[in-house]
A and B are shown apart, each in its own frame.
Chain A
Amino acid sequence: MGQINLPQDNALMRAELPREGEFRNPSGCAISGMISTSGKRFSGEDIIRSISVMHDRSNGLGGGFAAYGIYPEYKDFYALHIFFDDSAAKHECEAFLERHFDIINLSKIPTRKSPAITDEPLIWRYFVTPLPTKLASSQLDEREFVARCVFRVNTRIKGCYVFSSGKNMGVFKAVGFPEDVGRFYRLEEYEGYAFTAHGRYPTNTPGWWGGAHPFALLDYSVVHNGEISSYDANRRSIEMHGYKCTLQTDTEVIAYIIDYLNRRKGLSMKEICSVIAAPFWQTIAQMPPEERAEAEYLRNAFSSYLITGPFSIIVGFEGGLMALNDRLKLRSMVVAERDDMVYISSEEAAIRVISPELDRLWYPEGGQGVIITVNGGDEKCR
């Protein structure tokens, strides 16, 4: 009886409570990330184990992962991961995709039933490439074209949500504890060179899966712990440049800012750190002249993208990770190295559980970004 009634109760709950995006939902969180600097691919097992150590930092209302290097056989195609509320939404979305993309492959994303994860939407994956004629007539750069299509689906087609859109990477997220989400998506069966994970502690129920983290656009993904006080200033500024903040979450706005500054403005990740967690003016005043001029310039030119309030973030991008704290370091974050592996986490325990022996472990200062790239690759101006 109880099992029969359960979906109805949940459906009722959905009807009464607003969905993520319709309200501001402050969250506390756990984050974790790991990357092989030699580009060696490893299983998602470790990231699940790491984030599960921080079980108490989330409350079962959201968990998720970003995995890089997991689709080598489709590395030249955009992997779209999409939630559909129902099959009507799926049909409408697929029609849109067919008009704009060449769909190379599509499938349901494999999942494993679990009592801890309920209410799942339809979850599909499409490997696509823009139709050359459409791309040419849009007069857009390929990545911009894809980004705009993602916004189009997410804002115009009801019941569809593209939550991952990069090449050779994927986001996997759900409402639940992160370790359960990892098992649900069978993450241990994927191999990648970098993973990030997020366990969420929202103050309100998110209402649907789209609100879980990581938040991603193209191959940029962000996991974030904190609540930024600059949110509306950042949102209103980034929305000037064609972004639509539909979720009202900090993570979303941070992801757009990073996409804007890196992909569209050509700032390096290091430069981005000195925009979003800009050094204090008193610190800038003490810098050597050249460095000072650059820091002043970035702070002034991009003043709308300064992020204040507590945050620790791990940004995933093609070929690397970037970890950053707010300038007062109001959230915990630790970084460690062992052989070719670099680990980032809210708590040291979540690193030690994977690698009890470490070559080096440190707590980056507020505003001091840590940028790790595969084989020392260039993360600039992509």
Chain B
Amino acid sequence: MPINFLCPEYEVVRDYDRCIACRVCERQCANNVHSLIKESGKMFADSSKCVVCHRCVSLCPTRALKIVKSDHSFRQNANWSAKAITEIYKQADSGGVLLSSMGNPEAYPNYFDRLLINASQVTNPSIDPLREPMETSVFLGKKPTELVRDENGRLQNNLAPQLHLNVPVMFSAMSYGSISYNAHESLARAAEALGIYYNTGEGGLHEDFYKYGRNTIVQVASGRFGVHKAFLESGAAIEIKMGQGAKPGIGGHLPGAKIVGDVSRTRMIPEGGDAISPAPHHDIYSIEDLRQLVYSLKEATEYKKPVIVKIAAVHNVSAIASGIARSGADIIAIDGFRGGTGAAPTRIRDNVGIPIELALASVDKRLRDEGIRDEVSLVCAGSIRSSADVVKAVALGADAVYIGTAALLALGCHLCRNCQSGKCNWGIATQDSQLTKRLNPDIGCKRLINLVSAWDHEIKEMMGGMGINSIEALRGNRLMLRGIGMTEKELEILGVRHAGE
């Protein structure tokens, strides 16, 4: 029906003076945008199929391609945006829920961008990380409340199980199924080389990757897919996923098309059937139930592994986190409303949850007010985009951060936000063997190592500038931050002063 025709939002622009019709664009596009017109020997592009993944642009050897925002427009309307109008057309056509991928792209305030970092001048020397030790390694886990000494007065190690990170950055949960085998291999190998952790997400752990267990966090979510004794024992820590920043309050859905071969086996579900994770854990309807699951998992693994509870940042996140801290969890992971996803209902992704900066600041404060901050470590997630975001998150109170989108970008993701299609041209969010092979883990692993090492260098530079030579002295050190362009209330929640104060 003509109403359904939507003029493409982006156009493929080809410089015919440069195009040599090598057809790499055609061969590399899983969406069939490009084709060769036999008669003229020229390449043609159907922009309406283009998802703006830039695969063709990146591989074009003569730089003949670019993708530009179309200047085609609806009649200007400050209320009815083009997005609002076209989404209505789509829903009027399909009758369905709109689906989206990756993090919330809407123009909500970004508080990391309104925080500025301090540096030493005169009264306190900055420290040069090239000349002096600069420490960014952290331990995650409960700190002891009582000290125990032996008969000679020597302190006994009564620490609960801990995770040791060389850099306060981990790869967040992305399941095998939502991302490819090669993406998982890249993450696992990089985590091992960096001395950090990656997370299985809710999809089990492929048997090939058990060897990276010391750097693996295994996830137990509401569908319990892929959970068995060996799985729990294979990882360094167990994460109970209660929620996800991109879609707080709802479960997950991996379409049957992606449940093929090893994915089906790893998830322990039949091939071709949809994998539906319920919205809640049906054995957790309250905080006391969570405590039972935490201890069930600890019992099952002989109290040798820390248990992480991951929640989405929602309105009363600090009270929830405080409850979790009293429920035996060793680490709380909080995922902000900009966190990524392989697929989520658009309305939920774009309208539910709160910014991680505010959630983190209020959780850290609440746990301190209640004197239980040392009972748990805090990991924050939900659009950590740079080392500066890491520094700001740690200064607000995080022990470490999870990165998901940033890690995928390192692997080649161009944030086209079409993961739900399963036709990822970069070989990441797909199970099509012709596409997955586009991500060579030798390259992927190296790029992840590069990214995190680069961030580590930058974190050290910023710490040195502040005169801090160990990351634990930055944790919760909010005097090292100043806000800019914020209201009194925002500053109060973040616990920082305004720049100039």
Contacts and interface: CB of A to CB of B under 8 A. Distances in A.
B139 A231 contact: no
B22 interface: no
A309 B472 contact: no
A236 B368 contact: yes
B107 interface: no
A13 interface: no
Contact of A301 (B127, B143, B479): B143
Contacts of A231: 477, 479
Interface centre among B135, B155, B473 (most CB of A within 10 A): B473
A277 to B, nearest CB: 11
B139 A233 contact: no
B472 A304 contact: yes
Given A229-B467, A233-B476, A294 B155 contact: yes
A317 to B, nearest CB: 18
B137 interface: yes
Given A282-B133, A310-B124, A330-B125, A300 B162 contact: yes
Of the candidates B127, B162, B368, B470, the one having the most CB atoms from chain A within 10 angstroms of its own CB is B470
A232 B477 contact: yes
A300 B127 CA distance: 23
B468 A229 contact: yes
B147 A266 contact: yes
B135 A297 contact: no
Contacts of A27: 123
Question: Size band of the B side of the interface?
Answer: 35 or more
Interface in A299-350: 300-304, 306-310, 327-328, 330
B125 A308 contact: no
Interface string A37-64: 0000000000000000000000000000
B137 A281 contact: yes
A24 interface: yes
Nearest to B394: A233
A26 B162 contact: no
Contact of A229 (B124, B133, B153): B124
Residue among A227, A233, A301, A380 having the largest count of chain B Cβ atoms under 10 Å: A233
Given A233-B477, A306-B470, A330-B125, 18 more contacts: A227-B467, A229-B124, A229-B473, A229-B477, A232-B478, A233-B472, A233-B474, A233-B476, A294-B155, A297-B157, A300-B162, A301-B144, A301-B159, A304-B475, A308-B469, A308-B470, A309-B124, A328-B127
- Chain B at the A interface: SS class: loop
Contacts of B475: 233, 303-304
Contacts of B155: 271, 294, 297-298
A237 B373 contact: yes
A309 B119 CA distance: 12
Interface string B163-178: 0000000000000000
B124 A328 contact: no
A303 B477 CA distance: 13
Task: Please name the 8 residue pairs, one residue from A and one from B, whose CB atoms are nearest each other, closest first.
Answer: A230-B473, A232-B479, A229-B467, A233-B477, A26-B123, A308-B473, A303-B472, A227-B124
23 contacts: A229-B466, A229-B473, A233-B474, A236-B477, A237-B373, A237-B476, A266-B147, A280-B133, A290-B154, A293-B157, A297-B157, A297-B159, A300-B139, A300-B159, A301-B159, A304-B475, A304-B476, A306-B472, A307-B473, A308-B468, A308-B469, A309-B473, A328-B132
